[in-house]
Structure 1
Amino acid sequence: MKSPSLSSAAATSSAARTKPISTRTLIVATTIGNAFEFFDLTVYSFFAVLLGKLFFPAASAQQQLLLSVGTFGVGFIARPIGGVMFGLLADRFGRVAAMNLTLLTMALGTGLIGLTPTYAQIGMTAPIIVLIARLLQGFSAGGEVGVATTLLAERASAQRRGFVTSWQFASQGAAALAGSLVGFLLSHFLDTASLESWGWRVPFLAGVLIAPLGLYLRARIGEEEHGARNAAPSGSGVLKTVFARDGKLLLLAFLLVIGGTSAHFIVLYYMSTYAIKVLHLPMDAAMWCGILSGAVMLVVSPIGGLWSDRFGRKRVTFISRLLLTLLILPGFYAIAHSPTVTTLYLVVCGLAALHSINAGATGPLLPEMFPRSTRATGLSISYAAGVSIFGGFAQFVVTWLIGATGNAAAPAWYVIACGVASLIALAFITDRTRDEI
């Protein structure tokens, strides 16, 4: 029996099904949940040092940062569970119904962070609440990206699938840009006392307002009559099929994801923390790392998608991943040799451009790997697992590595190792650029 929430969502979708929508409406409605998630991740990442001080005051400065980014990473533990749950819902009851539930769960977790009292106010209960909020966010995000990417790929024509799907990753850039701008404005115009007492809460609470807008837009796109809801007899049937029939595809997709997610979380998110803690630059200057890299991803990801439509997914994915893997270590050495704002910004923009081209091409490649009947589940599981292990804990791992080895280039080696794994996986993936899926 269908749950009331799923039945209600399906009914709403049925009403919207007969109304044709533009590609622009489809893209905005589908990517808004992903943008919501990455807006919150950006804000949390850029306030990691401050949040460590507010919620883990008993620790040293280094331990505060480790605990803060560790809590950031803990949310990713719930991603694979969310990937399974929401992927099954999408394959059984429809893509839009599942995405609506992820959006509501995400809003709950984000609002909870914005309202949580600090350690000074309620003691150990404060970090525990933040931990629960991050688990809720991770659970919802585990399904959001895979299901939304699946919907975009299925609704687009084979000739434009790369371009349309690439906006899922361009939305991550837009969210990083917006989150960075908010963080920059707050840190620039508020004094330290105001920022610590209430300023940091503003972006979390403001982000919750995205949820009702997202639900309204998604009600307009509706489910397809021939959607995958009846493709499998049960959720257990979908899972059995995914692991028994598509096990090799899961592994290849997982390896492909870890190259992109390691670069994403280092280049777009960690570089601001790196600028503050390693280069000892002021917060205002560090925030511009996120602003610039977010702007680059917003503009360049669709270019990667367009190139993948024209030249093939595998070719564009391979070249961009190889170049990023080869150039990230020289980039970090350049920053270490000349630790100036100009050098930092040039390196960040260059690496972000390569990563964005790769993301734009990889975005459509992933859903093309899986059969339609299990696509949302397979993509959600592989994507959530890869991001959870190699993305969510990337900042924690490289922060620890820098402290343990004293090597400021440790983040580059992390991205290189993950990039090599992705390049190996890519050799075994079939290019379906021009196939109907």
Structure 2
Amino acid sequence: MDGKRLKSIIGGSAGNLVEWYDWYAYTSLSLYFAASFFPKGDKTAQLLATAAIFAVGFLMRPVGAWLMGVYGDRRGRKAGLALSVALMAAGSLMIASAPTYAAAGVAAPIWLTVARMVQGLSVGGEYGTSATYLSEMATRDRRGFWSSFQYVTLIGGQLLSLAVLLLLQAMLSEDQLNAWGWRIPFVVGALLAVAVYILRRRLAETASFTTQSAERPKSSIANLWRAHPREFLLIAVISAGGSLSFYAYTTYMQKFLVNTSGLTKAASSQVMTVALVIFALMQPVWGLISDKVGRKPLLIGYGVTGAVVAVPIFTALAGVQSAAAALGLVLIPLTLLGAYTSIGAVFKAELFPAHIRTLGVAFPYAIGNAMFGGTAEYVALWFKQAGIEAAFYWYVAGFCALMALAFALLPDSAKADLITDD
């Protein structure tokens, strides 16, 4: 791989890490800033209000996927990457400078909501644009390997936000964190996003975009549905199951280990931090395997094995006694899930022609992600509250089975790869 291409892939990946750091910082810090934006009172009510704003950000992701998918197809992948990180910088800066409820009244939560909506637009656009850019920049024989770094940096952003929080907890008192310390990670995120914006403006454009005919069809949802309805529906179903699995085994799992398994909060955090580091390191390995054996065997493999292990793994974790045992059990579904997450970007990109690729990757994914990934924790807790927690295990297993069926119906990218420019 030549130096220019490698620099572009590193630039695209670094931006993805910053985007996800900013996105997850909200979740990491919400415990500290909830009281700043809502009237004094019940702490649970304050956290629920911040969670509702988190959900609004999730709902904005399909809108961002649509708007920025079209933008990336019409104006270029590089332009889309720059715009997405610029929006994230703006959203993070808005949160960092947001007035408190005591100072601005109802304007404070409105300000926070608008900031989170801007971040939702950014992340919605980032997935499709970065997936398309990395897939188009990578050489054909290593496309799975290089595009797998999208998930390495996605998980890295989550870990970085936790690391910054741990550092602040060590340096500041709880009162300082509640009063003003929570703003620091958002300032850091905004500054990093500005730096990445400058970097992305200097990236090379992909050959797939620059060599297109001037008379190419316009990128739009109507044209996407008209020309690729089968791919649209299959990706939406696959993304629903994949996002549900990811959030079930990563973000929700930390709460599951405390609320159901009975581990301490500290032990649960330690288990999931180690698990996420290992999960991130798995991505390039699975990506490299896909370059050797093809995408479809790995994808079907996760659908089938994910459906088989979900119920027994959750059942075993529910009665786990030690952190070490919990880590071993959690790594089983995460290892299997890596077969999907590592190539979740590239297999979608290979299904669409260049003129509509960014939108084709982004929009169906965002719909499945928002509907089933974003609601994973809520559904799990609803089942638990209803006294039928095991139903969530079957819920995850059922969607994995649907994924396997959808994967089987996909064309084999080894025979139908539409990324024609290396």
Considering the TM-score relative to the shorter chain, is it more than 0.5?
yes
Cα distance per residue 1:174-201 (max 9 Å; x no partner): 1122122223333455443233223332
Counterparts of 2:315 and 2:219, CA distance in 1 = 51
Whether contact under 8 Å (2:300, 2:407) holds in the other structure is yes
Query: Is 1:430 the equivalent of 2:411?
Result: yes
Query: Is 1:243 the equivalent of 2:225?
Result: yes
- Range 184-193 or range 326-335, more displaced: 184-193
Q: CA deviation at 1:168?
A: 0.8
Cα distance per residue 1:36-77 (max 9 Å; x no partner): 232133333334444555545667555444433332121121
Query: Is 1:204 the equivalent of 2:186?
Result: yes
Equivalent residue number for residue 346 of structure 1: 328
Q: CA deviation at 1:152?
A: 1.4
> What SS does the corresponding residue of 2:345 show, helix, strand or coil?
helix
Correspondence list, 1:320-399, <5 A: 320-399=302-381
Counterparts of 1:286 and 1:52, CA distance in 2 = 23
Q: CA deviation at 1:118?
A: 4.1
Correspondence list, 1:14-413, <5 A: 21-52=3-34, 54-56=36-38, 60=42, 63-188=45-170, 190-224=172-206, 227=209, 231=213, 238-276=220-258, 282-403=264-385, 405-409=386-390, 411-413=392-394
Distance 1:268 1:240, change over 3 A: same
- Range 423-432 or range 185-194, more displaced: 185-194
Counterparts of 2:78 and 2:306, CA distance in 1 = 35
Q: CA deviation at 1:35?
A: 1.6
Whether contact under 8 Å (1:254, 1:382) holds in the other structure is yes
For residue 400 of structure 2, what is the amino acid of its counterpart?
Answer: G
Q: Could you list the runs of 5+ residues in structure 2 that have no partner in the other structure?
A: none
> What SS does the corresponding residue of 1:433 show, helix, strand or coil?
helix
Counterparts of 2:190 and 2:276, CA distance in 1 = 20
Whether contact under 8 Å (2:12, 2:130) holds in the other structure is yes
- Range 27-36 or range 335-344, more displaced: 335-344
For residue 221 of structure 1, what is the amino acid of its counterpart?
Answer: L
Instruction: Please give the root-mean-square deviation of Cα atoms over the aligned residues, in Å.
Output: 2.8
Identity among equivalent positions (%) equals 30
**Structure-1-length-normalised TM-score:** 0.85
> What SS does the corresponding residue of 2:409 show, helix, strand or coil?
coil
Q: CA deviation at 1:22?
A: 4.0
Q: CA deviation at 1:102?
A: 0.8
For residue 111 of structure 1, what is the amino acid of its counterpart?
Answer: L
Distance 1:46 1:82, change over 3 A: same
Q: CA deviation at 1:171?
A: 1.0
Q: CA deviation at 1:124?
A: 3.4
- Range 70-79 or range 410-419, more displaced: 410-419
Whether contact under 8 Å (1:325, 1:420) holds in the other structure is yes
Q: How many residues align?
A: 417
Counterparts of 2:182 and 2:264, CA distance in 1 = 17
> What SS does the corresponding residue of 2:180 show, helix, strand or coil?
helix
> What SS does the corresponding residue of 1:362 show, helix, strand or coil?
coil
Whether contact under 8 Å (1:153, 1:364) holds in the other structure is yes
- Range 335-344 or range 234-243, more displaced: 234-243
Counterparts of 1:36 and 1:235, CA distance in 2 = 33
List 4+ stretches of structure 1 deviating above 6 A: none
For residue 112 of structure 1, what is the amino acid of its counterpart?
Answer: M
Q: Could you list the runs of 5+ residues in structure 1 that have no partner in the other structure?
A: 1-19
Whether contact under 8 Å (2:5, 2:137) holds in the other structure is no
Q: CA deviation at 1:426?
A: 0.8
Counterparts of 1:57 and 1:316, CA distance in 2 = 50
Q: CA deviation at 1:32?
A: 2.6
- Range 170-179 or range 182-191, more displaced: 182-191
Cα distance per residue 1:358-410 (max 9 Å; x no partner): 2113321111111222111111111221222222232333333333x134556
Cα distance per residue 1:189-240 (max 9 Å; x no partner): 5443233223332222211122233223323322246626865769866443
Whether contact under 8 Å (2:144, 2:342) holds in the other structure is yes
- Range 67-76 or range 141-150, more displaced: 67-76
Cα distance per residue 1:225-260 (max 9 Å; x no partner): 662686576986644321111121111111111122
